[in-house]
């Protein structure tokens, strides 16, 4: 098995430092750790709270923490981080961490961006709140697209920016909610060439919509994107299971997803669709963030994670070089229970398993 060409990229959440917006919307000093530390087990054997070990309850404003994260990821065989990026018609949120990474040149570790282009609502994290809009995602048009591009141009020109066939890798989280994606893509590709770049490789997170199994049968205009990434398990279940899940979430009861089933369905989908870039989770448990989305993976272990990674590597190794990319969700989404950073139960076991699958050493 040759895994030297497979490029593993981990999504990276920047919400580990206080911001004026979170102080106002939630409480003073709110960060992702606020939800993480309040989590409680909901049933026997439920692993909560999940608490960090080696890096502690870090503050991402500290450069040394960012350096240590990059070192850990590099040693685990991960090529780079895909930072979640937030742009609301000219307003950037949670941007301090990535801005400092670009401006300081540190850590010297590859990165790319994925635009989390969804509105923020209070109900997302507090189920008893009405659907109060915190900040709405809008798409004003070409002028905004240009301003967005130039705001991020220093990052695109950075030598660390991850490229595919010489083009900057950039993602869209909610493609189905983007009414003018084609114009956005055309504008950015044109601006890229005007500014000495070769263009962009745009990927879309399909959020399970690739069950249609090809670009041609997608329920939204996915054809304008270069690549499709599937988070698999959100929708890859039977009608009966979806109905059960919907009912249980409605009455605020957890819906359990067996990790072995997740592995099986993920690999089946990947084998049957060469248009997909895989995006795999080491685990998932949304309960720290809210009782509104009590979706929990059950049965993940470092050994099962290593098996999934190695199987994906084997499948991807037979593809063209530019298609040998795999996303990991995520490096540090502690509030969703999907992270690779060391915790108090497993230590570095998930990182060790990742190294076994992806490291070229």
Give the residues across from 146 on adjacent strands: none
Q: At residue 81, what are phi and psi to the nearest 5 degrees?
A: -105, 145
Q: How far are the Cα atoms of 37, 173, 219, 260, 269 from residue 233, in angstroms, in the given order?
A: 26, 16, 18, 11, 10
Residue holding tokens 């009782």? Answer: 291
Q: What is the mean pLDDT of residues 58-70?
A: 98
Note whether 354 and 307 are within 8 A (CB).
no
Neighbours of 133 (CB within 10 A): 11
49: preceding bond cis by omega (within 30 degrees): yes
Note whether 213 and 272 are within 8 A (CB).
yes
Q: Within 13 Å and on the Cβ side, how many CA atoms surround 65?
A: 16
Q: What is the pLDDT of residues 4-58, one digit of tens each?
A: 579 999 999 999 999 999 999 989 999 999 999 999 998 899 999 999 999 999 9
Q: Checking phi first, is residue 5 left (phi over 0); if not, alpha (psi -120 to 50) or beta?
A: alpha
Neighbours of 167 (CB within 10 A): 18
Note whether 87 and 150 are within 8 A (CB).
no
Give the residues across from 333 on adjacent strands: 338
CB neighbour list of residue 267: distance below 8 Å, 6 or more residues apart: 308, 311, 312, 315
Note whether 8 and 79 are within 8 A (CB).
yes
Q: Is the pLDDT of residue 232 over 80?
A: no
Rounded to a whole number of angstroms, the distance between the first and last alpha carbons of the chain is 14
Q: Is the pLDDT of residue 2 over 90?
A: no
Q: Is the pLDDT of residue 341 over 90?
A: yes
Q: What is the mean pLDDT of residues 179-192?
A: 95
**pLDDT the model gives residue 207:** 64
pTM for this prediction: 0.92
Q: What is the pLDDT of residues 97-140, one digit of tens each?
A: 999 999 999 999 999 999 999 999 875 555 556 668 899 999 99
Q: Tokens representing 338? A: 């999907």
Band of pLDDT at residue 235, cut at 50, 70 and 90: very low
Q: What is the mean pLDDT of residues 278-285?
A: 94
**pLDDT the model gives residue 73:** 98
Q: What is the mean pLDDT of residues 146-171?
A: 97
**pLDDT the model gives residue 300:** 97
CB neighbour list of residue 238: distance below 8 Å, 6 or more residues apart: none
Q: How far are the Cα atoms of 51, 79, 191, 221, 261 from residue 15, in angstroms, in the given order?
A: 16, 22, 30, 31, 31
Q: Tokens representing 223? A: 């054809």
**pLDDT the model gives residue 211:** 46
Q: Nearest-CA neighbor of 232 among 261, 203, 202?
A: 261
**Better pLDDT: 296 or 152:** 152
């Amino acid at each position: 098995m040759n895994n030297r060409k497979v490029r593993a990229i981990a999504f990276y959440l920047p919400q580990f430092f206080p911001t004026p917006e979170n102080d106002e919307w939630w409480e003073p000093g709110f960060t992702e750790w606020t939800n993480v530390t309040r989590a409680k087990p909901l049933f026997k054997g439920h692993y909560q709270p999940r608490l960090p070990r080696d890096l502690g309850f870090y503050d991402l404003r500290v450069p040394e923490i960012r350096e240590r994260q990059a070192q850990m990821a590099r040693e685990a065989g991960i090529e780079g981080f895909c930072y979640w990026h937030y742009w609301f018609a000219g307003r950037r949120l949670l941007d301090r961490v990535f801005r400092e990474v670009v401006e300081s040149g540190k850590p010297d570790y590859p990165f790319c961006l994925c635009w989390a282009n969804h509105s923020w609502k209070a109900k997302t994290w507090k189920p008893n709140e009405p659907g109060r809009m915190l900040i709405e995602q809008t798409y004003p048009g070409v002028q905004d697209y240009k301003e967005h591009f130039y705001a991020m141009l220093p990052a695109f020109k950075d030598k660390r920016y991850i490229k595919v066939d010489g083009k900057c890798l950039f993602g869209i989280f909610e493609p189905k909610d983007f009414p003018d994606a084609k114009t956005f893509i055309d504008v950015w590709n044109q601006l890229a060439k005007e500014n000495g770049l070769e263009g962009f490789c745009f990927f879309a997170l399909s959020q399970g919509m690739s069950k249609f199994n090809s670009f041609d049968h997608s329920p939204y205009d996915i054809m304008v994107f270069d690549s499709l990434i599937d988070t698999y398990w959100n929708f890859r279940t039977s009608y009966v299971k979806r109905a059960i899940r919907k009912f249980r979430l409605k009455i605020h009861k957890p819906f359990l997803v067996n990790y072995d089933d997740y592995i099986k369905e993920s690999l089946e989908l990947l084998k049957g669709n060469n248009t997909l870039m895989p995006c795999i989770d080491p685990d998932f448990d949304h309960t720290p963030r809210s009782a509104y989305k009590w979706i929990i993976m059950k049965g993940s272990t470092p050994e099962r994670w290593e098996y999934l990674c190695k199987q994906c590597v084997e499948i991807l190794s037979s593809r063209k070089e530019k298609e040998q990319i795999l996303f990991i969700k995520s490096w540090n989404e502690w509030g969703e229970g999907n992270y690779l950073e060391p915790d108090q139960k497993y230590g570095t076991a998930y990182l060790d398993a990742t190294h076994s699958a992806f490291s070229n050493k």
